[in-house]
Amino acid sequence: NAGVTQTPKFQVLKTGQSMTLQCAQDMNHEYMSWYRQDPGMGLRLIHYSVGAGITDQGEVPNGYNVSRSTTEDFPLRLLSAAPSQTSVYFCASSYSSGLTDTQYFGPGTRLTVL
C-alpha cells in the first residue's frame, strides 16, 4: 500500500490564481480530511468527509472547496489564492471517524502564495 499520497509537494501561486491539491489513499478508508499547518498554531481542520459524496466544514473552511466523488480521492481546491493561504497542507485518512480509528497523514504540500 502507498498509504496517503499528496501532490504536488511544493507549489507557488500568484494571488488570484486557482489550483487543486490532490490527495489519494489506497487503504479503503471512509474518513478523509484536510488540515493546514502554520507556525505556532498546530494543525487546523479545513474540511472533512465521512464517505463518498459527503463533505463538511472544519475549523477554517473559508477560501477552500472540496468534493468526494470516490472513496480514494479527496481534492482540495483554492478558487482564488490569497497570501493568507500560504501554509503546509496535510491530507489524512482513517477507516472511520470513530474514536479509536487512527488517522494516517500524507507527506504534505507546501504552498506559497505571492
Partner 1 sequence: GQQLNQSPQSMFIQEGEDVSMNCTSSSIFNTWLWYKQDPGEGPVLLIALYKAGELTSNGRLTAQFGITRKDSFLNISASIPSDVGIYFCAGRGGAQKLVFGQGTRLTINP
Please tell me whether residue 84 adopts helix, strand or coil conformation: helix
Q: Which residue in the set 17, 19, 52, 58 belongs to the binding site for partner 1 (CB under 8 A)? A: 58
- Check binding of 98 to partner 1 (CB under 8 A): yes
- We find the least distance from the C-beta atom of residue 16 to partner 1, in angstroms, to be 28
- Of 54 and 79, nearer to partner 1 (C-beta) is 54
User: Of 79, 96, 108, which is closest to residue 18 (Cα–Cα)?
Assistant: 79
- Check binding of 41 to partner 1 (CB under 8 A): yes
Q: Which stretch binds partner 1 (CB under 8 A): 21-29, 32-40, 61-69, 70-78?
A: 32-40
Cell 491530507 sits on residue: 91
Beta strand segments in 1-105, E:
4-7, 10-13, 19-25, 31-37, 43-51, 54-57, 64-66, 76-78, 87-94, 104-105
Q: Which residues of the chain form contacts with partner 1 (CB under 8 A)?
A: 4, 33, 35, 40-45, 48, 58-59, 90, 92, 97-100, 102-103, 105-108
